[in-house]
Structure 1
């Protein structure tokens, strides 16, 4: 294999992510690995599958180099668990839910076993009979899919995936299920079903009814009887309204997915994994990895030769993962071995386009992205056909039904979230554009650290427009667009996720789907805060037209935390002889609460109250452990700190001064002063129309991308 180009040193963020999440540790929590030894552990564990092959001696080194040099990274469970006693290397699974009490609770049990080993799960609730329908065995009535979804959610909350990865689920209901309207509005209250992403499985028949303004049938899955009809446009409008408000439910185009089902003889797709990029049959798993496209630009052109070599080697790696995997239950092992599906994806697409000096939203950028994805898919199939000749095709392959050449894997490509692994590789996530180009990070003693995208800094210095002032302007505004100091050409090339139009987002997803993606794509269609429901509607209709298999939209600032009160009287602030007096607060204030974890992973709720101008006026801490004697001192300390901060706010002490004192008092990123400081900083930034979503681990700001919330400070990801 061609020698990889030199690797840049790992960034501080990468080292933080590896230390917190990936390195094996001793009983005291001290890391036993570094990046090199981790890569060797993973490479050797996966290569050993081919110990009887003639090229085995070299294979481990090839796998090692591919990972160590950041050319390709497998999914998080593989990096965490390969070569360990746990040995569960798959990212996600789809489990069936049968319409019986035994079937439902078997699925809950199996899901718990999956979460315990670090995987995410997708469920379709579409087989369950609707609410209030008859149950013959008990002469009673059914409670409906959502009642059982709540049980699945509670089970997930308990498991927490062994402490390394948070439980994540996808809940799917077909648009023709009688309980569909209840499902659509289920997550309007964001405190419910917190371990689930919800998506509606939309059929071609439904979309035709939308187009022609017709009603469509609701069908009881237990007997296939039509029980009611709904106007399709009314249902779509409700989906649009809820998605506009907080990004859920998503939509899955189930018929488009099943048209590309490579093993229809085994059944139909019903659900996806938590982020939607893997349509899987019941009990299938996704075994994922991503090529870092940032590493494949040479002398201003795509290095096609090396990219092809990596694609072929990555397929062999992912195929081996299936054989060295320790699956959580026997049914998953059997089904995964039967179809041997893998998901070779990409990350760093935006990095590659920047290096090629192409705008992400341009037609030229899309065409190159499509060419690259089609090339990867072609090389992946070459490798899979070669593996089939050496090891045999996947066992479910039937030449009478499957018209494609005999290959080792029933599916080869998808584009999955790379939230944490892209932080290790220091590149843009998946096929997403960068979320920001310049950020200001507040560190200890009140210092502010400018974090500038490496490509942007390089260009700015080379072309003479780099200065701290310009970088701070970009960080404050959240965009490179509209700054006179920055040439228009570079403003276009460095447009971020929210500078790119919804249509450009969808057209990128559509052209990738059409050119080389077997399964689906995890991508967020970012909308500005000012977007209207009509923008969401346009996104859905265009996505369906372009052959996308699912869509997630997110309107900036729409996913606020729980609002406790919405009534606020005007806050009275008086001044006497030039002295600012304490604000007099009304009886009712609007408020938001944030569920966080402290340094010992204890749950704490921070509640922030605002005046009518959204200025924070009071902060409170609420503890589930109020009655625990061993934590009484901690509770007293938190309460006292909150009272002092509240007093400072009511006396109009400048917020940056409050933040500076909190930073100086912080002993750890996860202690109370740091948490409060993070909250106030996010408010001052003003980029999320009030407080941003807050990372539950470090208090940093969460970004919503690839259908998932991620923290660029510490590497937390809700889904990956």
Structure 2
């Protein structure tokens, strides 16, 4: 790639420290030795000039490409707007693939399945993410007519896709991410719902269940619904809808997976229904697409659209500036469609037919801070709905302008717009609220329409130096209130929130709320408010405290359906073994020194308890010292070598934990409730697995029969594999706020 000539007088972009790291690692071009080969200024000019160059194709355009390139450069370097990551990475390069979101079909035959695997690999290599519906695949144990054999079912092929992604991600610029969706009326639905019960399974996939209105009505009435074989269209069995919904809620409570999408609602907003149904979304769920369709996304930083009134009064959104940004951004995104080189001819054809773009937002929490509006208030919800309506209206207006200059999207006459005489538009869709984890780090703003995850936190930098990161609007408000001090900032960084700091002014504690300060219903109301005026969908996580109940999640799922959302993702704090809290309080819980392992004496006494399990009779020997358990031997009769080996391994690890000083309660919390393939009732107790049996014995003997609630300790944080910093879960992905590593899936 030859460097583009940078015009004289082009200003240097102002870049925050986090953004420097992110741009250097993930966006700036590298030479053959892996060294950075362009500056941030060159990066932004590369993108601006290559996208503006497409303007020369249109003689009726009101812009010249040279002037437009400068407009695009200023738009990006002022962080008022940024395109999706593939555009920043690849615009003006030989790769040339600029879209983020793709959906690929999976046909019910071996050729179709492995074509999809190949096509996904090509997309991941270019920096895109893929979504799939596995609903067309026949159920496991179905007869395969061509061979006389039996089908292995969607879940077996899902594992093949996951494995392929695992290999491709190692050589690409971005980690491959996928969405896997199965209709709720597929015969294998129960296996799919439980597919990620074991931590680490299908780690390159987000999973969602495609719910239908027929199913939701059956849930409401606690009625049975039909399971339909996709290869015959015939009913094969039925399930109670409420029982299935309960299991969905249970799994969401346990780990956040799978999510749910409302297929009928998605297709009700399909602008081109004559071209087919939407079966799947992109990896984070905000972009429903037809098979072989792609969409390029971009986000406006709402934090830059604040108009401060005189003396700080009558502050408002800068609607004129927002309008200017919207119209430039829509032109930018439409040009991206022309500039992009798609990896498959089928994708190129479908994209050019519909020309979908997805203009979204970031910095919403920052704008609310400036407006002094609490996120968890009806005022904020109303403002969100008003603002998104403005963005959608102006985006469609900009699309009309482009249609007058360039022509409408080719399928416009047969689209819902053509049939109702709306438009004509250049683009079949114009708005999407996408995740902005990486973009928001570059722009130095809050992510998407999420609340801030912490007001202040400590970030480890090179040589173990620590850098305090504080939201600038919060820091300014503290100083205005005369409450700022270094000592206070350290205390806030320790917990991330000021909710319980009653010595601070109430107005501050009301306005500057964080994600975990907010009751779940406000997360959902905000998502619904933005969804009302978004063509596609909204990426948003409903955050829940660790003590949230399954009833809380049931309520969220049901209200998401009632409120008109197209899907919903929940995350209960601590629900995964990899806790992602990113403040100092959890770090204190990590022991600074390893415990000393006690030596075993020559003679030791204990007891052996017999427990009936679904895998055979378990003989659990527990030896004690000073009345406390010291070591465990677990042997199981009449089982294969693998089961015997696992029982022995569990016993050895529990023994090591006991001799290292780990408390019985902690062991019970870790082992209790672990499920197995053959649970079995023993008297009044359900023995779910060998580890669950050990937990039952320990709980009964050493905790005086006390019932231990299963909680995942908050010290189990998942760390970024690139820089070692804790990950934050928002917008459906684990995100590193230090280096912008993202993991959408597992």
Q: Same fold (TM over 0.5)?
A: yes
Question: Structure 2 vs 1, CA of residues 588 and 476 (structure 1 numbering), >3 Å: closer, same or farther?
Answer: farther
For residues 28-62 of structure 1, what are the alpha-carbon distances to aligned partners after superposition, in whole Å with 9 as ceiling and x for unaligned?
33322222211110011111111144522321111
Higher Rg of the two aligned structures: 2
Contact 2:575/2:712 (<8 A) preserved: no
Question: Structure 2 vs 1, CA of residues 448 and 109 (structure 1 numbering), >3 Å: closer, same or farther?
Answer: closer
1:420 matched to which residue of 2? 438
Q: Determine whether 1:437 maps to 2:455.
A: yes
Indicate the RMSD between aligned Cα atoms, in angstroms. 2.4
1:116 matched to which residue of 2? 125
Question: Structure 2 vs 1, CA of residues 613 and 712 (structure 1 numbering), >3 Å: closer, same or farther?
Answer: farther
Match of 1:183 among 173, 189, 192: 192
SS at match of 1:178: coil
Contact 2:459/2:725 (<8 A) preserved: no
2:715 matched to which residue of 1? 690
Shift of 1:389: 1.4
Shift of 1:614: 9.8
For residues 386-407 of structure 1, what are the alpha-carbon distances to aligned partners after superposition, in whole Å with 9 as ceiling and x for unaligned?
1111111111112585323210
State how far apart, in whole Å, the 1-side matches of 2:460 and 2:55 are: 49
State how far apart, in whole Å, the 1-side matches of 2:220 and 2:666 are: 47
Match of 2:321 among 288, 306, 324: 306
State how far apart, in whole Å, the 2-side matches of 1:285 and 1:273 are: 9
1:674 matched to which residue of 2? none
1:551 matched to which residue of 2? 568
Q: Determine whether 1:707 maps to 2:732.
A: yes
1:496 matched to which residue of 2? 514
Bigger drift between 80-89 and 56-65 goes to: 56-65
SS at match of 1:407: coil
State how far apart, in whole Å, the 2-side matches of 1:582 and 1:374 are: 62
What are structure 1's unaligned runs of at least 5 residues?
1-5, 563-579, 590-606, 618-685
What are structure 2's unaligned runs of at least 5 residues?
1-10, 309-314, 580-593, 600-629, 634-653, 668-710
State how far apart, in whole Å, the 2-side matches of 1:261 and 1:611 are: 59
Match of 1:235 among 244, 252, 261: 244
Matched positions, count: 612
Shift of 1:587: 4.8
Match of 1:34 among 21, 34, 39: 39
SS at match of 1:234: helix
Question: Structure 2 vs 1, CA of residues 162 and 334 (structure 1 numbering), >3 Å: closer, same or farther?
Answer: farther
State how far apart, in whole Å, the 1-side matches of 2:415 and 2:432 are: 26
Q: Determine whether 1:340 maps to 2:368.
A: no
Question: Structure 2 vs 1, CA of residues 687 and 482 (structure 1 numbering), >3 Å: closer, same or farther?
Answer: farther
Q: Determine whether 1:49 maps to 2:54.
A: yes
Q: Determine whether 1:612 maps to 2:662.
A: yes
Question: Structure 2 vs 1, CA of residues 26 and 536 (structure 1 numbering), >3 Å: closer, same or farther?
Answer: same
State how far apart, in whole Å, the 1-side matches of 2:50 and 2:665 are: 54
Q: How does 1:91-240 map to 2 (within 5 A)?
A: 91-160=100-169, 162-240=171-249
Contact 1:115/1:161 (<8 A) preserved: no
State how far apart, in whole Å, the 1-side matches of 2:332 and 2:665 are: 53
Contact 1:438/1:452 (<8 A) preserved: yes
1:584 matched to which residue of 2? 598
State how far apart, in whole Å, the 2-side matches of 1:39 and 1:22 are: 10
Shift of 1:348: 0.3
Contact 2:453/2:514 (<8 A) preserved: yes
Bigger drift between 35-44 and 411-420 goes to: 35-44
Q: How does 1:218-617 map to 2 (within 5 A)?
A: 218-299=227-308, 300-398=315-413, 401-402=416-417, 403=420, 404-443=422-461, 448-514=466-532, 516-561=533-578, 582-584=596-598, 587=631, 611-613=661-663
Contact 1:115/1:162 (<8 A) preserved: no
TM-score, with structure 2 as normaliser: 0.79
State how far apart, in whole Å, the 2-side matches of 1:351 and 1:34 are: 28
Contact 1:7/1:69 (<8 A) preserved: no
Shift of 1:484: 2.1
State how far apart, in whole Å, the 2-side matches of 1:241 and 1:247 are: 9
Shift of 1:161: 6.8
SS at match of 2:196: coil
State how far apart, in whole Å, the 1-side matches of 2:551 and 2:480 are: 42
Contact 2:131/2:283 (<8 A) preserved: yes
TM-score, with structure 1 as normaliser: 0.82
Shift of 1:141: 0.8
